[in-house]
Amino acid sequence: VRVGSGFDVHAFEDGDHVTLCGVKIPHDKGLKAHSDGDAGLHALTDALYGTIGAGDIGDHFPPSDPQWRAMDSTVFLKHAVALVAEKGGRITNADVTLICERPKVGPHRDAMRARMAEILGIEIERVSVKATTSEQLGFTGRREGIAALASATVVFAAR
Amino acid sequence: VRVGSGFDVHAFEDGDHVTLCGVKIPHDKGLKAHSDGDAGLHALTDALYGTIGAGDIGDHFPPSDPQWRAMDSTVFLKHAVALVAEKGGRITNADVTLICERPKVGPHRDAMRARMAEILGIEIERVSVKATTSEQLGFTGRREGIAALASATVVFAAR
Amino acid sequence: VRVGSGFDVHAFEDGDHVTLCGVKIPHDKGLKAHSDGDAGLHALTDALYGTIGAGDIGDHFPPSDPQWRAMDSTVFLKHAVALVAEKGGRITNADVTLICERPKVGPHRDAMRARMAEILGIEIERVSVKATTSEQLGFTGRREGIAALASATVVFAAR
Ligand SMILES: [Mg+2]
Ligand SMILES: [Mg+2]
Ligand SMILES: [Mg+2]
% of chain C surpassing 90 pLDDT? 92
Angstrom distance (rounded) from CA B46 to CA B77: 9
Q: How far is ligand 1, taken at its centre, from the CA of residue A45, in Å?
A: 10
C97 near A CB under 8 A: yes
User: Is the confidence at residue A66, as pLDDT, over 50?
Assistant: yes
Return the bridge partners of A59, or none.
none
Nearest neighbour of A159 by CB, restricted to C92, C134, C141: C92
Q: What is residue C158's predicted lDDT score, i.e. its pLDDT?
A: 63
Residues of C in contact with A56 (CB under 8 A): 97, 130-132
A10 at C interface, C-beta within 8 A: yes
Q: What mean pLDDT do residues A141-157 have?
A: 97
DSSP state of C126: G
Spatial contact of C4 and C154, defined as CB atoms under 8 Å apart? yes
Question: Chain B closest CA to A14's CA: distance in Å?
Answer: 25
For residue B127, the SS3 value is strand
Q: Which of C55, C144, C145 sits opposite B130 (nearest CB)?
A: C55
Of B7, B11, B49, the CB nearest to A149: B7
In DSSP notation, C38-93 reads -HHHHHHHHHHHHHTT---HHHHS-TT-GGGTT--THHHHHHHHHHHHHTTEEEEE
Binned at pLDDT 50, 70 and 90, residue C69 comes out as confident
Peptide linkage before B66 cis (omega within 30 of 0): no
Classify C22 as helix, strand or coil. coil
Query: What number is the average pLDDT over the span C118-125?
Result: 98
Which helix H or strand E contains A74, and what residues bound it? helix A74-86
Please list the residues that pair with B132 across neighbouring strands: B99
Q: Is the dihedral of CA A106, A108, A114, A119 positive or negative?
A: negative
Each residue's pLDDT tens digit, C13-54? 999 999 999 999 999 999 999 899 999 999 999 999 999 999
- pLDDT tens over chain B, length 159 residues: 999 999 999 999 999 999 999 999 999 999 999 899 999 999 999 999 999 999 999 999 998 888 878 889 999 999 999 999 999 999 999 999 999 999 999 999 999 999 999 999 999 999 999 999 999 999 999 999 999 999 999 999 864
Is the Cβ of B131 closer than 8 Å to some Cβ of chain C?
Answer: yes
Q: How far is the CA of A42 from the centre of ligand 1 (A)?
A: 5
Give dist(CA B54, CA A105) in Å, integer: 14
DSSP secondary-structure letter at A120?
H
Chain B residues within 8 A of A99 when measuring between CB atoms: 7
User: Rounded to whole angstroms, how far apart are CA atoms B126 and C2?
Assistant: 8
Inter-chain CB proximity B95 and C3 less than 8 Å:
yes
Chain centroid to CA B117: how far?
A: 12
Torsion of CA B150, B140, A56, C90, to 10 degrees: -40
> How many whole angstroms separate alpha carbon A19 and alpha carbon A5?
21
Chains in touch with C (3+ beta-carbon pairs under 8 Å) read: A, B
The mean pLDDT value for A119-131 works out to 98
C98 at interface of A, judged by CB pairs closer than 8 A: no
| A136 → closest Cβ in B4, B11, B50 | B11
Yes or no, beta carbons of A53 and C141 under 8 Å apart:
no
The answer to whether A155 and A90 are in contact (CB under 8 A) is yes
CA of A39 to the centre of ligand 1 (A): 5
Q: If DSSP codes are grouped into helix, strand and coil, which group holds residue C13?
A: strand
Q: In chain A, what percentage of residues exceed pLDDT 90?
A: 92
Residues 40-79 of C with CB under 8 A from A: none
pLDDT at B159: 46
Torsion angles phi and psi, residue B125, rounded to 5: -65, -20
Does the pLDDT at position A120 exceed 80?
Answer: yes
| Partner B contacted by A1 (CB < 8 A) | yes
Chain A residue with Cα closest to C137: A139
d(CA B136, CA B126): 31
What's the ipTM? 0.97
Nearest CA in chain A to B143: A137
